[in-house]
Chains A and B, each alone.
Chain A
């Protein structure tokens, strides 16, 4: 019994910034429902006393001295920009009309 609905997928798509088509929302609703049903079994063995592991090899934070290292030039940073002007990235309006 899946809790994945078209409304939920639409909401997740909006959070993910992907403008899914209605067809994609329909097929993803079905597919995600099947996938979630099959992976929900992790909760069977994940009891309260088991600690979580986020990282396979325990390491403490790797820090370096706070000194200037090798950096990219401005030209290198901008070389793949879709649009640039005066050494900066160009984007369209940040705020929409209703904002």
Chain B
């Protein structure tokens, strides 16, 4: 295994700008790794055939003395929910098989402008509906820590790609935990920014009031560096927040000293424990709190009485918005078209196409959303869910009057077995209990590795949440905790992941 792929993006970037490594070498090393291990992991749906050429262009510009972005030449994996002009974009669905976008998503455009090398598109649950990638129309991704287990979802491909050293950086999207929960189960870092902090233009819509694009990496600093590239106002996204942001990388670097932990008030939600939470996850979380206290932080118990309604509200709001967003797959302008036997009207073609092109979870949520929005049920279901959203925001507001950040395990359990919950939608939905509240309230959240669960040796993640627009606080605090944890372990968590590909 080339040592280049073990480097963090920040370390690789330093070697690239010092001229010790070329972008072509860095890209080739990751393409070789993909060739060696992705048959087992299946993180990628498509690998770029132009990445080396793009890398050559970066090397030439650097050789010509051009001042490039500090990440120029670093490879990037892109979740298939984000549209790209040089690779197909399917959102994990058969209905979009082979779809070639005429434009790049804003985040992809910004990444390319910074000189990042898009090396491939990563696997995901179909239209980002799922917590395991098992709902991908192209087969599941396997967790690099244990190939028989799920890599999380919906962004299991992006998380597995960085965990398996197939890319140092990846882009994800988080509607109810699709960046943070995969980070938790793969021992990596994932960030859901403040809603509106990162452009959603060119992100294939699931639930527009919940979706947010964010970084997937192996270190907090790398996530911050990528956040700085993709974040900021975009006039093409009407929900983009029109304000300037401080540099997340500066916050992460500042946080590494640990100073920020002194006097930091850390909220612990009393509703996030007990039933459904695996003992080893709770143990690692308790140890992390002890470590925080040792570093001078104050732990404050937070009562968030409406969080227990979050999953229910989410599974009304998301299907309602998804049923509307997915109406665009009508077989007319793009995507699959299936003609029913004996022909029929355009409506019959539409119904046959959607029957053939959507998988079971997508159908389930479209039907559920259509039900929640139908006349006679609207007030009881969708209307009530929107009120719960207000109550959850109020719980967050009350909490952030008492504390600076809220901490919790990022998910209740470690990675479960592939197949274990595929036929039990409710069990799958409950997996998102810790991550959903942040999406409903629009606040930012990060997941960082907090150790291996003693009973199964699998990764666990610490989730931190901050008030809306305080993303920099998350990076500052997460970088401090990451540094403390790693100095305690004497290594990074990801360095303990098993070798893949028989090497």
A67 at the interface (CB under 8 A from B): no
Known A19-B355, A28-B364; judge A91-B384 contact (CB<8 A). Answer: no
When the two chains form their complex, are residues A50 and B347 in contact, meaning their CB atoms are under 8 A apart? Answer: no
Closest chain B CB from A11 CB (angstroms)? 9
Which residues of B301-327 are within 8 A (CB) of A? 306, 309, 311-313, 315-316, 323, 327
> Could you say which residues of chain B place their CB within 8 Å of the CB of A26?
none
B422 within 8 Å of A (CB atoms): no
Interface footprint category on B? 35 or more
Closest to B384 in A: A46
Known: A39-B316, A81-B334. A31 touches B387 (CB 8 A): no
A16-B323 CB under 8 A given contacts A53-B389, A56-B209, A92-B343: yes
Cβ of B278 under 8 Å from chain A: no
- Are A59's CB and B196's CB within 8 A? yes
- In the assembled complex, the Cα of A55 lies from the Cα of B195 at a distance in Å of 9
Interface bin, chain A:
35 or more
Contact A42 B426, CB 8 Å, known A56-B442, A59-B241, A91-B346:
no
Chain A contact residues, majority secondary structure: loop
B294 at the A interface (CB under 8 A): no
As a 0/1 sequence over residues 321 to 350 of chain B, the CB contacts with chain A under 8 angstroms (1 = contact) are 001000100111111110110011111111
Q: Are B363 and A57 in contact (CB under 8 A)?
A: no
Tell me, yes or no, whether A54 is within 8 Å of chain B by CB: yes
- B residues 385-415 with Cβ under 8 Å of A? 385-391, 393
Q: Is the CB of A80 within 8 A of B358?
A: no
A residues bordering B, Cβ < 8 Å? 4, 8-9, 12-21, 24, 28, 31-32, 34-36, 38-47, 50-57, 59, 61-62, 64, 72, 76-77, 79-83, 89, 91-96
A-B contact sample (17 more), CB < 8 A, given A18-B366, A19-B352, A28-B363? A8-B371, A12-B371, A15-B370, A15-B374, A17-B327, A17-B347, A18-B367, A34-B426, A40-B380, A42-B384, A42-B388, A45-B306, A45-B388, A81-B333, A92-B345, A93-B346, A95-B345
Instruction: Report 19 cross-chain contacts, Cβ distance below 8 Å, ordered by A residue.
Output: A15-B370, A16-B323, A19-B352, A21-B355, A32-B364, A32-B371, A35-B429, A39-B316, A43-B380, A46-B384, A52-B387, A53-B393, A56-B440, A56-B443, A61-B238, A81-B334, A89-B332, A89-B333, A92-B339
For the complex of A and B, 7 pairs with smallest distance between CB atoms: A56-B442, A46-B384, A80-B334, A82-B337, A52-B386, A76-B102, A46-B387
